[in-house]
Structure 1
């Protein structure tokens, strides 16, 4: 009798173990599927426009791939958390930048990096991105969450615009201002805020807009819509057109402000070697395009296939965006011809490049300083 009871108990344990394995076999994939569906939500990645799969990128006439060595200097090291964009006040000699802690900071770029004094100038909160100087000397800020802000001389902050055509801005980004005070800026996405910007890029849908704001009548006008994460914007020297960058498409486009082509958009430079951020005219016949990171086999594959981007969304939500590398600044002619690329394999998320005198100043989304490169060491042909 004891032996039969033992056998029966063993049989029950075996059956229970088998049942558990079957349940795990059925429920584990189901649980994983439910988890993945919850992470992806209603995001449905779409194919990008054709042209991203070109095997070769544009090559600059001159490439300088090691700017972090003795060639560059760190300004305000540890005092400028994430200096995303830069603007220079020639009269006062200040460089202004927006930092990730909500401060607009300024400093005079002295000859010796250790002598740089960083001033906490205006606290606007949120995450200030693009900065530009108005003809009257005031600074205008594209604050990612609030919208377009003006920093007044009396110390106050004014909200200029936070919507267009009844649609709220979700990610105000790049900005430039014409000589008559008209403000041009990008709403990189009307669907995702800055803290979820990777989702906008991975979704592959045109959620961005190019917008203008006229402070004389407080009129906000959408100049172009259905753009792919429009980022930096820069007026041409004659101010007949402007250039804006579309980050995931690795291209910059020209919008005609006036003339026979008024309102038309055409490609300015495409098939860039990496993903563009801000763009600035350097005052010397070139545009400086910040390259936040270079293209790679991994990113080429991801950007080509919506299904891969769908699974990458889960990874991004759990651990963040895979890092970019070999960032820098690309100098192009007024016709879009690549002239020089200043980069380094250990640089990532370079977000702006601004030429002042003989120096190139580089801002970053993630670093705690502004990089300065002496361009006289790398003379650029016209």
Structure 2
């Protein structure tokens, strides 16, 4: 037995040992195999739909690069960030929604910002009702109303049996009816950690989960006007009884009929924008103001027809996925979708969501900035209505 044991030991000693290089290669192959399995099979919340993105026009022609926004005044927001939207109140003061959940109030010149109310959610779109209440599209809480004392009440949390998961923009008709967008019925802002991460999921999937809703303040009923929208965003009303709605995921603005047999019918009026369109607000003199929050992304467009690859992108670490770029861009257009002006700031005031026009000023809002931008109407070549 002693001799057998000694022979076995010698035999084992003669076996070739794996070199460090071979061990490293084996470990690398295992890592690559696991990575491939992860990128190909790990569950993701999106179910991407193939579509054909129009060829990006670039910043040329009516959208040629300029620095017209660079001279805008930067107004502090009392420590708050992300003035997503602004509305002019019946008291002549400005009201701003912010990322913190607070509604700020300033004087008529956008100065002296202070907290007016806290929605307890994430307020986005703002407009005033004929009775003086501030109407808020809150991404977490639905459609809200705030009275002059700052008291918040909930107007709607569902429409036609579906929860409102991402109330985004709002416009109130002269008669009091409220039109607002539910950006995504699938990717709720609160459920996915905020309006921005939820928007990325909806845009990546391109599943047509957005809708335009109508709230009747008399009956309290809320109904769907149009559905199937690609991330329903900004909304503004026209003189002839229609709504202009932003489809961020389709890079376009559509006209939606609100009455008659054609109610809910969509007609594109401005297509193939050079950036991701956000808020749309009616100004003065027949003007409408549209914010392009970020330029188009070539990778995002290239992957439009490759749904499986878009799923792979979602499995990548967040820091390597396509990101929004800061390039301030505000577009002036007519109710027919004709572009009248393009105001830009390539390096300064970025992530522009839209604008509020008053007789004296144009106030520019932003997704991330810690200031409200202001330009004089005179400097832009128009004053008054």
Measured after TM superposition, the shift of residue 78 of structure 1 is 5.4
Task: Decide whether aligned partners of structure 1 residues 10 and 250 sit closer, same or farther in structure 2, where only a CA change above 3 A counts.
Answer: farther
Whole-Å Cα distance in 2 between the matches of residues 123 and 154 of structure 1? 12
Measured after TM superposition, the shift of residue 46 of structure 1 is 1.1
Q: Which moved more, 1:209-218 or 1:37-46?
A: 37-46
Alignment of 1:105-120 (within 5 A): 105-110=104-109, 116-120=111-115
Q: Secondary structure at the match of 1:262?
A: coil
Whole-Å Cα distance in 2 between the matches of residues 39 and 119 of structure 1? 46
Residue equivalent to 2:39 = 36
Alignment of 1:30-179 (within 5 A): 30-36=33-39, 40-48=43-51, 50=52, 52-56=53-57, 61=62, 65-69=66-70, 71-77=71-77, 79-89=79-89, 91-110=90-109, 116-179=111-174
C-alpha root-mean-square deviation of aligned residues, in Å?
A: 3.0
Whole-Å Cα distance in 1 between the matches of residues 96 and 244 of structure 2? 21
Measured after TM superposition, the shift of residue 39 of structure 1 is 5.7
Q: Which runs of 5 or more structure 2 residues have no equivalent in the other structure?
A: none
Give the alignment partner of residue 372 of structure 1, picking from 359, 371, 374: 374
Measured after TM superposition, the shift of residue 229 of structure 1 is 0.2
Aligned residues: 372
Residue equivalent to 1:342 = 343
C-alpha distance after superposition, 1:103-154 (max 9, x if no partner): 01110143xx7xx211100011221100110011110111101101111235
Measured after TM superposition, the shift of residue 359 of structure 1 is 2.3
Whole-Å Cα distance in 1 between the matches of residues 59 and 69 of structure 2? 23
Q: Which moved more, 1:101-110 or 1:182-191?
A: 101-110
Q: Is the 8 A contact 1:198 1:316 kept in 2?
A: no
Residue equivalent to 1:327 = 328
C-alpha distance after superposition, 1:200-247 (max 9, x if no partner): 100111011110110101111111111100001001134x10100000
Measured after TM superposition, the shift of residue 310 of structure 1 is 2.3
C-alpha distance after superposition, 1:311-336 (max 9, x if no partner): 33234646675132323110012211
Q: Is the 8 A contact 2:106 2:114 kept in 1?
A: yes
Whole-Å Cα distance in 2 between the matches of residues 255 and 93 of structure 1? 31
Whole-Å Cα distance in 2 between the matches of residues 98 and 330 of structure 1? 21
C-alpha distance after superposition, 1:10-41 (max 9, x if no partner): 6353289857754652x323321343357652
Whole-Å Cα distance in 2 between the matches of residues 332 and 259 of structure 1? 26
Q: Secondary structure at the match of 1:197?
A: helix
Give the alignment partner of residue 13 of structure 1, picking from 17, 31, 35: 17
Residue equivalent to 1:213 = 215
